Structure 1
Amino acid sequence: MPKRYVPASPATDLETGGSGIEHVSLSVSGMTCTGCETKLQRALAQIDSIKHLKTSLVLSRAEFDLDLSIGTLEDVMKRLERATEFKCEKITDQGASIDVITPINAVDFVKQDWPLGVTDMKITSKTSACVHYDPKVVGARNLIERGWAMPLKLAPLLADLNLEAGRKHVRHFGYMTLLSVALTIPVLVLAWAPLPKKDIAYGSVSLALATIVQIVIAGPFYTKALKSLVFSRVIEMDLLIVLSTSAAYIFSIISFAFLASGNPLSTGEFFETSTLLVTLIMVGRYVAALSRQKAVQSISVHSLQTPTALIVDEQGVSEREIDARLLQYGDFLKIIPDSRVPTDGTVISGFSTIDESMITGESKPVEKSVKFSVIAGSINNSGTLIARITLLPNENTISTIANMVDEAKLSKPQIQEIADRVASWFVPVVMVFTIITFAIWIAVGMVVQGRSGNEAAIQAITYAITVLIISCPCAIGLAVPMVIVITSGVAAEHGVVFKSAQSIEIAHKAAHVVFDKTGTLTEGKLIVAAEEYMAEEQGVTASLLLGLVGSIKHPVSIAVATHLQAKSGIVTNVSDIVSVVGKGVEGMSPSGQVLRAGNSHWLGLSSDPRVISILSRGLSAFCFTVDGSLRAIFGLAEDILRPDAISTITQLRTWGIAIHILSGDDDGPVRAIASQLDVPEDNVRSRCSPADKAAYIKALCTAPVESLAMPYASSNAPVVIFCGDGTNDAVALAQASIGIHISSSSASLAEVSRSVATVILLQPRLAGILDIICLSRRATQRIACNFVWSAIYNLFAITLGAGAFSAAGGVKIPPALAGLGELVSVLPVVAAAVALRWERIRK
């Protein structure tokens, strides 16, 4: 049995108090329109313990930082459900964790001594708990098999909570819609079928059925609307439904009362109107919710995660299929033909080709053999591979990409703020217009048409109900987020990960694209083309230099280290090694000498004749000094440009975008690359430190727009894109309007996810920049179309519903059929967004 220990204070969901900040993700069910999201935002914003709130109607999700010293998550969830009637559930997807079925009561199970490696336990039900653990201390399989006195069982695999909450909401709406249909059909038959005349009997049955519909089906609209008005001070769409259905239902009761008293009104009963109105509203909301859910599911990156894995010993002899949640460091995967890779790993035997298109956008199968990496979610073709696990499922490529994509979906572009403001004023304006419609038709009925007061009032109520129900702000509310969700998903499928919605909104306005050179425009694989030693003991010099740069991952250091290892491979132990970003590396020799290696400018050797000789040959100079004395110079030759560098820059220039190159390398190699790409000398800077790059980009960002003849330039400030690949580019990535990190391999995603870049290219493919701009252009065009459609629909529908075309025998909408308004307005918006999936990014 592993050594056990008792934590100072085991944390459970049953305890309260505590301190610190916890990042919380909540799956929220019950939201149907933009008013619902506004209500959610206001309800959460009123809670003092919540900071940095983000919400999404499309994802049915809320994220925020919770100050545990002020309040608990349990209090937040109770207050939210009381104020909004929404149901919420915490999403737990951070860190390594497994859900287990407890052999005893979950509360008692959590109170036991925790096994070594367990960091936290949360109760999920009376018989299950979520165990958080450190995978570097204990593996998941070892934990449940030998961590406690008796082996545990895994709890059933939970689906993606975002998607599962949406499915539950859609199912609930479906059941309620079917119930409403079942109750409405008899009312319609009694009202419209040629049955024997039994008005009292039929009216009594219709009253009973209509009452059930009004209480059971329409009842939730009342509580939501009233709570929204009282707690959040939001007048939302549900209030229009409440007013319209209540008016139709109450009028029906009054009409039936007159009938029962022997003085029937000329219009007869109205029960079929109120019941059909509720039913059609439910149908419209069900279809709209279903279409939103299908759209979100269609671009879910989480679905690429396979639930099982085949593990073997290192020789690949004995094999065993396990739940992928039980994978642990040290395991070896057997990847059979036509199977999906369970998690990231490194091949130790076998040969095959793998389809990585769903992860990286690379359409051609990639050959895999010993020492090659395999990516979670990619599909193996014909061969069999044995791979050692490098990342667990909770931290692999799929999880990293999915988290970044979700971050983009939750962020909101500036144009969304405009849509939210319009939507917030929509319902009050419709209510005012309804009152005006009622007053006008009262006057028209009595003065122009010569109707009695009762008849004029009945006619006015009919038109007022139609106006209330046919108007729909949902199309306005969905115009932006629906497009952002689909665009971010489509981009991820093509190897582009947007980390913020703002990047999607502004990329098409790019006025400048600035490139780092080494590793971005070029392959980054430098070679030593010349070397010169200034001391007789070349072996000692080479050994010291190899000890200094051998562990540094910069392309220049890698090239020199590879060259020296091939010659002798003898390494001197160098201490206190420090990498000076953008300049070089320094350390201390065993005898106390100061060792430095890097560019000639940093070392003050730019004017040295030996350095000038290297630079005059078009090579980059890499110098090595001992106590300030030059001991060796290496001339580094650039490898070729990336295959798509020239075509990409040519296309950007065709769009009127200015191209710039910044590099920390010496001037000669940088100018040579700029010449090949036809970049003007004024737009090229060499020997740049990270601060120099950031200052250059800042100057571009603040340049007067009037001086730019760019067709896609912003009307406020030029949009500047910076594309880089290294740690030394972090400051520039942060300074640019859009920072694009170009990955040299998908294995670097764990580092990328912590970078400041707002867009990630999963493959070193510069054409991805063209995809980014084109996707942005398509998305903004689609958003504009959605706004235009929403405006046209509501303008036409409200005027039609108000009877503007009925005076001369034109079209008139019965109040009951107005319930289809949401369906008619929302579906085109969803369809326009989803259509992005089947369109070519660049035509």
Structure 2
Amino acid sequence: MNAPIRNSSDARNAVILPVAGMNCASCVGRVEKALKSVPGVKSASVNLATEQAEVTGFGPIAYGDLVAAVKDAGYTVPATRTELAIEGMTCASCVARVERALASTPGVVAARVNLATERATVEGSIDAALLIKAVENAGYDARVVSAGAPDAATAAHKEAETAGLKRDLAVAALLSAPIVVLEMGSHLVPVIHDLIMRTVGMQASWYIQFALTTLVLFVPGRRFYTKGLPALLRLAPDMSSLVAVGTLAAYLYSLVATFAPQLLPPGTVNVYYEAAAVIVTLILLGRFLEVRAKGRTSAAIKRLVGLQPRIAHVRRGDSVLDLDIGEVVAGDVVEVRPGERVPIDGEVLQGESYIDESMITGEPIPVAKEAGRAVVGGTVNQKGALSVRATAIGNATVLAQIIRMVEEAQSSKLPIQALVDRVTMWFVPAVMAVAAATFAIWLIFGPDPALNFAVVNAVAVLIIACPCAMGLATPTSIMVGTGRGAEMGVLFRKGEALQLLKDARVVAIDKTGTVTEGRPVLTDLDVAEGFDRGNALALVAAVEAKSEHPIARAIVDAATNEELRLPEVSRFESITGFGVSAEAGGTPVEIGADRYMRSLGLDVASFAATASRLADEGKSPLYAAIGGKLAAIIAVADPIKASSPDAIAALHGLGLKVAMITGDNARTAGAIARQLGIDEVVAEVPPEGKVEAVRRLKQAYGRLAFVGDGINDAPALAEADVGLAVGTGTDIAIEAADVVLMSGSIKGVADAFALSKATIDNIRQNLFWAFAYNVLLIPIAAGVLYPVAGILLSPVLAAGAMALSSVFVLGNALRLRRFRPRTATGAHVSATADAVRAPLSSVSFERSAA
């Protein structure tokens, strides 16, 4: 993240803010004057080139006053995006409170908090220091981090948190074990009961349990009280508050039973030290497993970050220096040795090699590289040595942009999350209310000893509730799903696309450059009897080399690829509406349509069968006469990508309708559609007509995904419910898209659809578990089964179930790491796929004029 808003750390109390709308020196003067008029401002300096203002004050400056002053002067302070790392969140209730604190800060347009990534994304014109203060006032810690870049502080915090949990868990387990033996053992095993009574006695046993439990609660378990009790006092209880209240209730009741039993009613003098100690131990175990699982959900980002080499071999003068990647500048020449990763994006100057680009495109076949070819940072060089001129470094590299896109997708919230957010905001207070009601009902209506039943069941209710699972259900699946997509070369630029894509009913695909290669090539060359194919191609290519027409370029390229020697050409002439003529190597050559051949007195009937086949394939044939005789029939076309047939079949296998939108003529488009099995063709559509075509398809069939690659596809990509851009397309198309297919092949479309379905299914499974768990077990913990079945839930079992609920959700989300794309032959095809697609061909569209 390039955050233009920041407080400098020097003593001048400086603030830098962006200013938009300035276009001359007069604007600069007006903005500076407006800023200097703000109370407390010492000086203001505005830079027109960078469109930034640096303001210094005699003390801390009110950032909102600066923004207001700029606006009053007639200019704007653009909204910026700030990324914060949040520490101390434990459940969905924490997420809701941090979001509310950030959203209520003046200047904030939107705030999103992600429990799984422990990050907040804030949009608006506001100083980061104010955001951090708002988070701290809510009871949590925050700091600014950079999107798309590894955060060493966060990594260190995670490592420290994991190590601390592991240590505390070991201590708690070690101290809890004797308590379980002393208390539970004496209840369950008569031999142990007799041994305790003969040796230390019951009262001494309680003293030992008291000492050990006190250590468990206030050494490894202190985190629950230092976080939970202040949150409770702020009337904003969270998961730690539930644990703190529940364990303290059991502990304090046992404390009274041990040291002041006369204060309790007869028959209620019992201790629950083992419940308090084991609850803390089990919840620490759950937290430890949860932290480890969270680390695995972000594995894709870590792997992507790890692909960036730290050292580059940079040519400086006559020597090659090993420099830190941060010291490389655009224009440097970098040596890439065999087996190394390319450290920067660049252009090959010298050398030849093959590069494994699977980390970018998902394609396993290495790509040939030579002088003039582009290379991408993070890809693996094979056996050759290359000299590469750096064209993009740091955050401008493709790898950095991929990381940024994945992080943005992971931090987003899906529409399905809205219900969860509304529920979890009030979940913990509701649980505490249910626990209080449980205590009161058991105390009033429960059997003797009623106080014991009231305490135990109220504690069980507090412990069993798990907003953690609710908070983790959606973001963990998004993290793993988008990360797996990145590994496959499918980048979800917006997390919302995961949910919207699954519901699409029709896929509209641009033809040129998406279904086809996007460049004409020579596809057919048949020669008449008595002519040599190679000689005919050399003569025709020599003449066409004088023309700038794309068809001519394709013929010349074909001759070049076959390493044919082209003869000298003279007397070249272009005949409008017919073709071209010249002498190549002294031989007359004429090239053009059938009417040109007939005007020369040549009969093209001998090629009738070939011409008919080409017409069926949507190709327009050309003819060549050499030395006054009909010599060849030629076809140049934009060939279908090798991956397109399997990609269309895979989309059909997913039950999707496929339409093709193109500006090409109807005959050519229809031929391609027949070859690929495309359901509907909207042909002869001008660039501005694609948006209207998308609208009509949406109106006819519902939610639509559009796949394109060119600049003229950008409006259609934006108009579609979900826009997918092939990664070899233009930057404008990619910016307008919701999903980017890095491989440049539309077979990634089926992968994106299948991954979308798998991720949303996974989210629904998680949400079902999280809600069903609480709906089912909270009443059981309250004791609703006791009157009919005599069943009560022990607080210890409640703690175990609560710990396992979060681990279950995380484990289920991690299954997405094993997601595999569907086979091209349509494995797992829905039996209703053909029935779903059938109606599409019955709908017709009015063709726009070409």
The TM-score normalised by the length of structure 1 is 0.71
Distance 1:381 1:738 in 2: 37
Distance 1:441 1:46 in 2: 41
3-state DSSP class of the match of 2:260? helix
Partner of 1:78: 133
Partner of 2:478: 484
Deviates more, 1:58-67 or 1:779-788: 779-788
1:234 CA drift (Å): 4.7
1:405 CA drift (Å): 0.9
1:736 aligns with 2:720: yes
Distance 2:497 2:366 in 1: 30
Q: How does 1:317-466 map to 2 (within 5 A)?
A: 318-442=319-443, 445-446=446-447, 451=448, 455-466=449-460
Partner of 1:663: 662
Partner of 2:805: 825
Partner of 1:672: 671
Distance 2:553 2:111 in 1: 44
3-state DSSP class of the match of 1:669? helix
**Alpha carbons of structure 1 residues 24 and 617: separation in structure 2 relative to 1, 3 Å:** closer
Q: Is the 8 A contact 2:83 2:147 kept in 1?
A: no
Q: Is the 8 A contact 2:314 2:328 kept in 1?
A: no
Partner of 1:64: 122
1:24 aligns with 2:25: no
Q: How does 1:67-146 map to 2 (within 5 A)?
A: 67-68=125-126, 72-84=127-139, 86-92=140-146
Deviates more, 1:794-803 or 1:200-209: 200-209
Q: Is the 8 A contact 2:261 2:269 kept in 1?
A: no
**Alpha carbons of structure 1 residues 480 and 816: separation in structure 2 relative to 1, 3 Å:** same
Distance 1:783 1:677 in 2: 34
3-state DSSP class of the match of 1:438? helix
Per-residue CA distance 1:556-614 (angstroms, 9 max, x = gap): 99989999x9999xxxxxxxxxxxxxxxxxxxxxxxxxxxxxxxxxxxxxxxxxxxxx9
Distance 2:617 2:820 in 1: 45
1:63 CA drift (Å): 1.1
Distance 1:472 1:354 in 2: 49
3-state DSSP class of the match of 2:134? helix
Identity %: 30
AA of the residue aligned to 1:482 = T
1:807 CA drift (Å): 6.6
**Alpha carbons of structure 1 residues 514 and 560: separation in structure 2 relative to 1, 3 Å:** farther
Partner of 1:727: 711
**Alpha carbons of structure 1 residues 267 and 343: separation in structure 2 relative to 1, 3 Å:** farther
Deviates more, 1:30-39 or 1:221-230: 221-230
Distance 2:233 2:443 in 1: 32
Match of 1:767 among 720, 723, 747: 747
Partner of 1:713: none
Deviates more, 1:322-331 or 1:204-213: 204-213
**Alpha carbons of structure 1 residues 819 and 508: separation in structure 2 relative to 1, 3 Å:** same
Per-residue CA distance 1:12-45 (angstroms, 9 max, x = gap): 9996445434321101111121111111111111
**Alpha carbons of structure 1 residues 501 and 200: separation in structure 2 relative to 1, 3 Å:** same
Q: Is the 8 A contact 1:284 1:819 kept in 2?
A: no
Partner of 1:170: 162
1:225 CA drift (Å): 4.5
**Alpha carbons of structure 1 residues 268 and 497: separation in structure 2 relative to 1, 3 Å:** same
Distance 2:87 2:553 in 1: 52
**Alpha carbons of structure 1 residues 260 and 420: separation in structure 2 relative to 1, 3 Å:** same
Q: Is the 8 A contact 2:618 2:669 kept in 1?
A: no
AA of the residue aligned to 2:423 = V
Distance 1:400 1:294 in 2: 22
Distance 1:785 1:468 in 2: 24
1:259 CA drift (Å): 4.4
Q: Is the 8 A contact 1:512 1:659 kept in 2?
A: yes
Distance 1:375 1:638 in 2: 31
Q: Is the 8 A contact 1:183 1:213 kept in 2?
A: yes
Distance 2:212 2:567 in 1: 91
Distance 2:809 2:272 in 1: 33
Distance 2:333 2:819 in 1: 40
Distance 1:307 1:264 in 2: 72
Q: How does 1:471-510 map to 2 (within 5 A)?
A: 471-510=465-504
**Alpha carbons of structure 1 residues 661 and 166: separation in structure 2 relative to 1, 3 Å:** same
**Alpha carbons of structure 1 residues 304 and 218: separation in structure 2 relative to 1, 3 Å:** closer
Partner of 2:256: 254
**Alpha carbons of structure 1 residues 163 and 811: separation in structure 2 relative to 1, 3 Å:** farther
3-state DSSP class of the match of 1:641? coil
Per-residue CA distance 1:222-280 (angstroms, 9 max, x = gap): 5644665676x655333322321221122122212324999996543333322332232
Partner of 1:588: none
Per-residue CA distance 1:284-332 (angstroms, 9 max, x = gap): 22221221122213453542333423324389x7432221111112222
Match of 1:238 among 230, 237, 240: 240
Distance 1:496 1:182 in 2: 47
Distance 1:271 1:659 in 2: 65
AA of the residue aligned to 2:344 = T
Per-residue CA distance 1:23-82 (angstroms, 9 max, x = gap): 2110111112111111111111111121222221111111112424xxx32232123112
1:93 CA drift (Å): 5.0
Residue correspondences, number: 669
1:197 aligns with 2:197: no
**Alpha carbons of structure 1 residues 787 and 638: separation in structure 2 relative to 1, 3 Å:** same
Partner of 2:795: 815
Q: How does 1:256-655 map to 2 (within 5 A)?
A: 256-259=258-261, 267-300=269-302, 302-313=304-315, 318-442=319-443, 445-446=446-447, 451=448, 455-526=449-520, 637-655=636-654
Distance 1:332 1:373 in 2: 13
Match of 1:697 among 681, 694, 699: 694
Distance 2:459 2:793 in 1: 11
AA of the residue aligned to 1:369 = E
1:444 CA drift (Å): 5.8
Partner of 1:50: 108
**Alpha carbons of structure 1 residues 163 and 562: separation in structure 2 relative to 1, 3 Å:** farther
3-state DSSP class of the match of 1:63? strand
Q: Is the 8 A contact 2:229 2:244 kept in 1?
A: no
Per-residue CA distance 1:391-434 (angstroms, 9 max, x = gap): 10321111111111111111111111122233334434434443
Distance 1:556 1:829 in 2: 58
Distance 1:762 1:462 in 2: 57
AA of the residue aligned to 1:34 = A
1:702 CA drift (Å): 3.0
3-state DSSP class of the match of 2:110? strand
Per-residue CA distance 1:184-235 (angstroms, 9 max, x = gap): 456556656855336666655654554455455555545644665676x655
1:760 CA drift (Å): 0.2
Deviates more, 1:668-677 or 1:7-16: 7-16
Q: Which runs of 5+ in 2 are unaligned?
A: 1-44, 48-52, 68-76, 186-191, 525-544, 561-565, 569-613, 622-633, 828-850
AA of the residue aligned to 1:505 = Q
**Alpha carbons of structure 1 residues 827 and 88: separation in structure 2 relative to 1, 3 Å:** same
Q: Is the 8 A contact 1:29 1:169 kept in 2?
A: no
1:388 CA drift (Å): 1.7
Partner of 2:18: none
1:343 CA drift (Å): 1.8
The TM-score normalised by the length of structure 2 is 0.70
**Alpha carbons of structure 1 residues 529 and 177: separation in structure 2 relative to 1, 3 Å:** closer
